[in-house]
Chain A
C-alpha cells in the first residue's frame, strides 16, 4: 500500500477549499487537524512505502516524519499566532495564508517522496510559489519587495534546475533510453556508471546552482534573509526551513549520481570540489555578515544560510560518515530552528505583536523581564544554534570536522574558522537578548501553555543527536552508506 500518496495529496487538495471557505479561526483549526492527519500518514509510511513515481525511500521516510512533525508544531503555535491578533490581515488573506501553509507542507512532502526528477522539480516550484505568496501577504512595501526578490531569484533558480533536470534525462539516454525510467532516481542510481559523464557534469552545475538557490547557498542566498524577515512568521520562517531540506536532499541525490558515475569510470568530474567551495563560501560569508544584523529574523535567516553551507560542505567531503553527519546536522538544525522561531514569536507577542517589524534585537532585549521561562528557553535555543556542547549540533559538527580532518585536512582550517566566527557572533547576542535591560514599560506577563512546545523540540533535538533511537540510527546510517 502506498501511504505516501495521501500524505502528499491531502494537504494539496485541501488547500483550494481552505483558500475559499472558512473564517480565520476555522482555517487555523482545519490547518491543525490536517497536520495531525498528515503526521499520522508520514509515520504510517514506514509500513507502506509503496512503489512507483511517488514512494518513500529511507531518506524520504526520515525527513518526511521530520517535516510533518515540525509542521504540526508550527500549526499548534499558529493557533496562538492567529488568536493573538498579531497580524492584521483581511479575511481573504487569512484564507490564502492557511491554504499556503498546506501547499508548502504538501509540496515539501512531494519533494521528499518523489522518485522522479521532474516531479521533484515541480514540488520545489510549487513550494516556492506558495512561500512567496506568504511573504507578500502583509502587503507592506518591504514585504512586497522581499517577495519580488524571492520570486525573481527563486524563478531563476527554478529555471536553471529545470535545465539541469533535462540534461540529466539526456545523459541517461544511452543507458536507459527514452521514457520514464530515465527520470527515476532509483533507475538512474542503479545505472549511474553508464550515464554520459560529461553531460552529467554539465547538468550537475545547473542543478547545483538551481537547487542551491533554494538551499540559499552563497552567492545565491540573497532572497533568504529578506524573505525570513517579512511575512507571517509561522509560514515564512518555520515552514520555509523545511524547504531548505528538500533542496539539500536534491543536491545530495544528484551528488551521489555524479560520484557513482565518477567511481564507475563514466567520465563525470568529482562533485566534491563544487560542494566544498559553495559550502565554505556560505559559512564564511555568514560568519562576517551575522555580526551586523539588527533584526532577529534576518539574523537567524543568515544562520540558516550557515547551516545549509555546513550540510553541503559535509556532502562535499563525501564518505558514509560525513554524509551521516550532514544529514544529522539537517535533522537537528530543523528542530532547533523551529523551536527558535516559535520562541521568538512568543517573545515578540509578549512585547506587543508578532507581526514583522517587531523583531529588532533592541525591541526584544531582556526577555527574562517579560517572562522568565520564555527568556530562558529563547536563550537555550540561540545557544543551541552555536553548535557548542550540549547542543545537538555539536554532535553533527564534530562528525563533520573529524571526517574533514581525515579525508581533506586542508579545508578543515577554513571550516573551523567559519564555525568559530559564527558561534562567536551568535553567542554575543544571547546576553543582551535574554538578560539585558528591557525596553521601558515592560511588564511581567504570563507565557501560556504553548511555550512548552519550544522545550519539547529542544529536547528532541538533543535526543536525536546524543541518544538516537536504534532504528533511526540504523536507517540513517544505511541511507548515508547508500548515498556515499
Chain B
C-alpha cells in the first residue's frame, strides 16, 4: 500500500488542527505548546516529503525546522513569557466562538480557491496547498485578533509554518532549505524584537541606553 498520500495528509491535517486550536487558546503557554507541536509535525512532514520525493535538501529543511522551530524558538518564547510574567495574558478582540467561526470560513475559502484552480496539478500538491493556505490565513487571523505582541508573533510563526509546508509539497522546488533559513532569520528578529519591546515596557524607560548603562555597572 502506498503510504505517501495518507501520511502527508495526516501530518498536514495535524498542522492545520494546531493552527485552528490557536484561535481558541487564551493562555500564551498553551499557544506556544501548540506552536511547538505544529513545528515538530512540520519537520516530520518535511522528512517524509524528502523521503517520498527523494530530495536531499528537504531533509535539511526538516532538520532546521526541528532544531530551531521545534526546540529553540519555543524555549526562547517560554523564557520571555516567564520572565515578564505574562502566563495569563488574555487579550482577544473577539469572543472565541466568533473567531472560530471566522476560522472555519477562512478554511472554506482556502479550499474553494485552491482546489478549482489547481485541477491540472498533481493531486498531492493540490491538497497540501489547500491545507497550507488555510494555515497561512488562520495565522493571519490570529495576528489580527490578538493584541498581545507575543501572541501576534505566534500567529506569524504559524503562518510561516504554513508557507514551509507549501514549499515542501511543491514538486522538486529548488532552494526550499535556503528559503526556510531566510524565513527563520526573520522569525529570530521578531522574537528578539518582542524581547526588546518587553524590556522597554518592563523597565518603563523610553531609552535602552539607560538599561545598557545599568548592565555595564553590574546593576
Q: Which residues of A contact B (CB under 8 A)?
A: 90, 116, 118-119, 121-122, 125-126, 128-129, 132-133, 136, 139-141, 144, 147-148, 151-152, 155-156, 158-159, 162-163, 166-167, 169-170, 173-174, 178-180, 183, 196, 198-199, 201-202
A118, A125, A132 interface centre (most CB from chain B within 10 Å):
A118
**What 7 A-B pairs are tightest by C-beta distance, nearest first?**
A178-B172, A198-B117, A139-B208, A118-B175, A141-B206, A122-B182, A178-B171
Whether B163 pairs with A140 at a CB distance below 8 angstroms is no
In Å, the complex CA distance between A133 and B193 comes to 9
In Å, the complex CA distance between A90 and B160 comes to 34
Q: Pick the interface stretch among B26-34, B60-68, B84-92, B184-192.
A: B184-192
In Å, the complex CA distance between A199 and B118 comes to 6
Q: List 29 A-B contacts (CB under 8 A).
A: A118-B174, A125-B182, A128-B186, A139-B200, A140-B206, A144-B197, A151-B189, A151-B193, A152-B156, A155-B156, A156-B156, A158-B186, A159-B163, A162-B179, A162-B183, A163-B133, A166-B163, A166-B166, A170-B121, A170-B129, A170-B170, A174-B120, A178-B171, A179-B172, A179-B174, A183-B173, A183-B174, A196-B118, A196-B120
- What residues on B are CB-neighbors of A129 within 8 Å? 185-186, 189
B209 within 8 A of A: yes
Given A139-B209, A156-B156, A169-B170, CB of A122 within 8 Å of CB of B189: no
B41 within 8 A of A: no
Whether A202 pairs with B117 at a CB distance below 8 angstroms is yes
In Å, the complex CA distance between A126 and B178 comes to 13
* Chain B: CB-nearest residue to A117: B175
Q: Which among A118, A128, A170 is the interface contact of B179 at CB below 8 angstroms?
A: A118
In Å, the complex CA distance between A158 and B152 comes to 16
* Chain B: CB-nearest residue to A132: B189
B121, B132, B178, B182 interface centre (most CB from chain A within 10 Å):
B182
Measured between C-beta atoms, what is the minimum distance from A235 to chain B in Å? Answer: 16
Whether B186 pairs with A125 at a CB distance below 8 angstroms is yes
In Å, the complex CA distance between A315 and B117 comes to 26
Q: Which among B133, B149, B173 is the interface contact of A169 at CB below 8 angstroms?
A: B173
Given A118-B178, A147-B193, CB of A173 within 8 Å of CB of B163: no
Q: Which among A156, A173, A179 is the interface contact of B121 at CB below 8 angstroms?
A: A173
Given A159-B136, A174-B120, CB of A139 within 8 Å of CB of B174: no
Given A141-B200, A144-B200, CB of A155 within 8 Å of CB of B186: yes
* Chain B: CB-nearest residue to A154: B186
Whether B117 pairs with A199 at a CB distance below 8 angstroms is yes
In Å, the complex CA distance between A121 and B182 comes to 10
Give the interface size class of chain B: 35 or more
In Å, the complex CA distance between A174 and B149 comes to 42
Measured between C-beta atoms, what is the minimum distance from A172 to chain B in Å? Answer: 11
- What residues on B are CB-neighbors of A159 within 8 Å? 136, 156, 159-160, 163
* Chain A: CB-nearest residue to B126: A170
Measured between C-beta atoms, what is the minimum distance from A269 to chain B in Å? Answer: 11
Measured between C-beta atoms, what is the minimum distance from B80 to chain A in Å? Answer: 15
Whether B125 pairs with A170 at a CB distance below 8 angstroms is yes
Q: Is the interface of A mostly helix, strand, loop or mixed?
A: helix
- What residues on B are CB-neighbors of A125 within 8 Å? 182-183, 185-186
Measured between C-beta atoms, what is the minimum distance from A467 to chain B in Å? Answer: 42
In Å, the complex CA distance between A118 and B182 comes to 11
B215 within 8 A of A: no
- What residues on B are CB-neighbors of A122 within 8 Å? 178-179, 182
B15 within 8 A of A: no
- What residues on A are CB-neighbors of B152 within 8 Å? 152
- What residues on A are CB-neighbors of B129 within 8 Å? 167, 170
Measured between C-beta atoms, what is the minimum distance from B202 to chain A in Å? Answer: 13
In Å, the complex CA distance between A179 and B125 comes to 16
Given A156-B140, A158-B186, A170-B118, CB of A163 within 8 Å of CB of B175: no
Given A122-B178, A196-B120, CB of A166 within 8 Å of CB of B170: yes
* Chain A: CB-nearest residue to B200: A144
Q: Which of B129-152 contact A (CB under 8 A)?
A: 129, 132-133, 136, 140, 143, 149, 152
Given A152-B156, A178-B171, CB of A144 within 8 Å of CB of B196: yes
In Å, the complex CA distance between A148 and B195 comes to 12
- What residues on A are CB-neighbors of B171 within 8 Å? 173, 178
- With A167-B129, A201-B117 known, 9 other A-B pairs at CB within 8 A are A132-B189, A136-B193, A141-B206, A155-B190, A159-B163, A166-B163, A166-B166, A178-B172, A196-B120
In Å, the complex CA distance between A162 and B212 comes to 37
- What residues on B are CB-neighbors of A139 within 8 Å? 200, 207-209
Given A152-B156, A199-B117, CB of A180 within 8 Å of CB of B179: no
- What residues on A are CB-neighbors of B207 within 8 Å? 139-140
